[in-house]
Chains A and B, each alone.
Chain A
């Protein structure tokens, strides 16, 4: 089972961003890293200058590197950024089909979890268009997931760790919570490096907001689903970055995949590292996404 690190979903300052990818390159037992801005184009200028160095360091460490597209492309500037991705020479992870419109016919690309690939028809079309790898949408239930993993001509990834990306909007919830307009947000989402908790009226931990994105409060973990995913032919787990303890999370999943520890041990050791302090894996068992099979 391979491990892929997905694009960081949150807004970190340039120094934190640089340190994160430096440690990833030097210490994390993962084969593949997707980086770049997924959530909000306004964040990119703050750390854009760090990207070439990070790419170089990751590649020098033997890791495959891809650049993500934005998850929602509406503004002219965002269309320009998306078009430029195709020219970086790196593999593009398409997380909005807009990126596909800019990729020359025949160019290799990968498909990220925010593209709606629910069936063989869509998967097959993307493969014929040049897709070399795909991370399936997190909400896909186990039955369809098995069908797609079995039918896919390319390696299939599944969401393995991290707060689940549940929704994307044109509206910024961080700005709304701080009573600011989106255009004068003053980048307030940087105060919540793993997202800002949104609880129910009865204090149940439920969701987290991250600028224009809404995430699960619980941290998804595919640890218990791993045997089933392996049997279905899934090639890789995707681990989603978090501000603290991420290299340790990568090591734990490497140990789990290699049989050095079991899922219960991963739970016990990873729980203190999990954003929100709770796990979920319901999408992987066919339940509501918030459900947790390891309880």
Chain B
């Protein structure tokens, strides 16, 4: 059966995910060492140790995301996070920074290393470089690849692959995007945040509601109409007289129907985005996907259509996996 890797933003979400059938959960420490550095989320050292013990008793694994890029002069914070993850019983760390991968390989050779999607390793040559040089065992593939491209990569690499199947969707190559810091000063790579709420202002303008990020108006909707969160790359812009979603429509990823194809493409693990999501959301999504991977493992069709209402902004897309824009 394909491994289901599920988000745990809090200890309660970790328990919910494991009880709902997650084969593995991923989580991070409550600081800028992880790419979901949001207020009220993430784990203390003690919580991680307890969470890992709980997950292990249920036969699930715990993967610790330390997937921002260590800041010069403060690398010790990231090094300590790797050491503490190992001490807490983590089954693997998910890393993005070249220097941190090198450090982990040297200082914690027994700790399994996964390459974060933030490392944007998008072809077999660079994946094998990480595998051969640093003993990376699994790569989380960028969300820019089609199923056929994923299959081709898997034929050539000496590592497991993990792909996102549900939740938020980056349009840009992850870990290679400074749009957020250009507008707000805070970025996924440095601060673990993108288009942060601290820089969002909503303004009522007659019958409309405008959303500004860092002072830039990137969304305007009729009052009372659904207003998706103003993430920069999913905003509305004008270019040479054309107004619309220049980069991407505000849809979220749902690749559940592609699970059989992804299995055929040699993918080891399926990842669900959403460490910022509620325990109830995690439970429901994990249950659905567990049923789906079990169905696929026994040659049955994927149970259809249960997840639509959980998709962000109501619309769902299969993303790059089934490229219509290639």
B247 touches A116 (CB 8 A): no
A176 touches B98 (CB 8 A): no
From A74, A114, A200, contact of B123 by CB (8 A): A74
Q: Which residues of A contact B72 (CB under 8 A)?
A: 118-120, 140, 143-145, 147-148, 151
A120 to B218 alpha-carbon distance, docked (Å): 36
Known: A123-B99, A147-B72, A167-B179. Is A98-B123 also a contact (CB below 8 A)? yes
A234 to B285 alpha-carbon distance, docked (Å): 50
Q: Does A231 interact with chain B (Cβ within 8 Å)?
A: no
Q: Which residues of B contact A199 (CB under 8 A)?
A: 237-239
Q: Which residues of B contact A287 (CB under 8 A)?
A: 185
Q: Which residues of B contact A114 (CB under 8 A)?
A: 176
Q: Does A73 interact with chain B (Cβ within 8 Å)?
A: yes
Q: Kindly specify which of B9-17, B167-175, B308-316 makes contact with the partner chain.
A: B167-175
The B94-152 residues at the A interface (CB cut-off 8 A) are 96-100, 102-103, 120-126, 128-129, 142, 144-145, 149, 152
A201 touches B220 (CB 8 A): yes
A166 touches B178 (CB 8 A): yes
The A210-238 residues at the B interface (CB cut-off 8 A) are 214, 216
Q: Which residues of B contact A275 (CB under 8 A)?
A: none
B144 touches A169 (CB 8 A): yes
Q: Does A100 interact with chain B (Cβ within 8 Å)?
A: yes
Q: Does B44 interact with chain A (Cβ within 8 Å)?
A: no
A84 to B169 alpha-carbon distance, docked (Å): 33
A207 touches B122 (CB 8 A): no
User: Quick one: closest A residue to B215, CB to CB?
Assistant: A204
A121 touches B236 (CB 8 A): no
A199 to B246 alpha-carbon distance, docked (Å): 10
- Candidate in A76, A144, A216, A289 with the most chain B CB atoms within 10 angstroms: A289
Decide if the interface of chain A is mainly helix, strand, loop or mixed.
mixed
Q: Does B22 interact with chain A (Cβ within 8 Å)?
A: no
Known: A98-B125, A289-B181. Is A200-B239 also a contact (CB below 8 A)? no
A71 to B176 alpha-carbon distance, docked (Å): 9
B179 touches A200 (CB 8 A): no
Known: A139-B178, A169-B171. Is A118-B189 also a contact (CB below 8 A)? yes
Q: Which residues of A contact B71 (CB under 8 A)?
A: 118-119, 144
Q: Which residues of B contact A76 (CB under 8 A)?
A: 152
Q: Does A72 interact with chain B (Cβ within 8 Å)?
A: yes
Q: Give, as a whole number of angstroms, the nearest-CB distance from A279 to chain B.
A: 14
Q: Give, as a whole number of angstroms, the nearest-CB distance from A164 to chain B.
A: 7
Q: Does B281 interact with chain A (Cβ within 8 Å)?
A: no
Q: Which residues of B contact A138 (CB under 8 A)?
A: 178
A167 touches B177 (CB 8 A): yes
Q: 1/0 per residue A112-132: CB within 8 Å of B? A: 001011111111111000000
Known: A139-B187, A183-B326, A201-B217. Is A119-B242 also a contact (CB below 8 A)? no
Q: Which residues of A contact B176 (CB under 8 A)?
A: 71-72, 114, 116, 167-168
A182 touches B102 (CB 8 A): no
Q: Does A196 interact with chain B (Cβ within 8 Å)?
A: yes
The A77-96 residues at the B interface (CB cut-off 8 A) are 78-79, 82-83, 96
Q: Does A10 interact with chain B (Cβ within 8 Å)?
A: no
Q: Which residues of B contact A100 (CB under 8 A)?
A: 126, 129
Q: 1/0 per residue B21-37: CB within 8 Å of A? A: 00000000000000000
Known: A73-B125, A166-B179. Is A122-B238 also a contact (CB below 8 A)? no
A173 touches B246 (CB 8 A): yes
Q: Does B219 interact with chain A (Cβ within 8 Å)?
A: yes
Known pairs A101-B126, A206-B183; list 10 more (Cβ under 8 Å).
A98-B123, A119-B75, A120-B72, A168-B172, A169-B173, A197-B240, A201-B210, A201-B236, A288-B182, A290-B214
The 3 closest A-B pairs by CB, nearest first: A121-B99, A122-B99, A170-B144
Name 14 interchain pairs, CB-CB below 8 A, sorted by A.
A73-B123, A73-B125, A98-B126, A116-B69, A119-B69, A121-B97, A143-B72, A145-B72, A170-B145, A171-B248, A175-B325, A206-B183, A216-B182, A282-B185
Q: Which residues of A contact B (CB under 8 A)?
A: 71-74, 76, 78-79, 82-83, 96-98, 100-102, 114, 116-126, 137-141, 143-145, 147-148, 151, 164, 166-173, 175-177, 181-183, 196-204, 206-207, 209, 214, 216, 282-283, 286-290
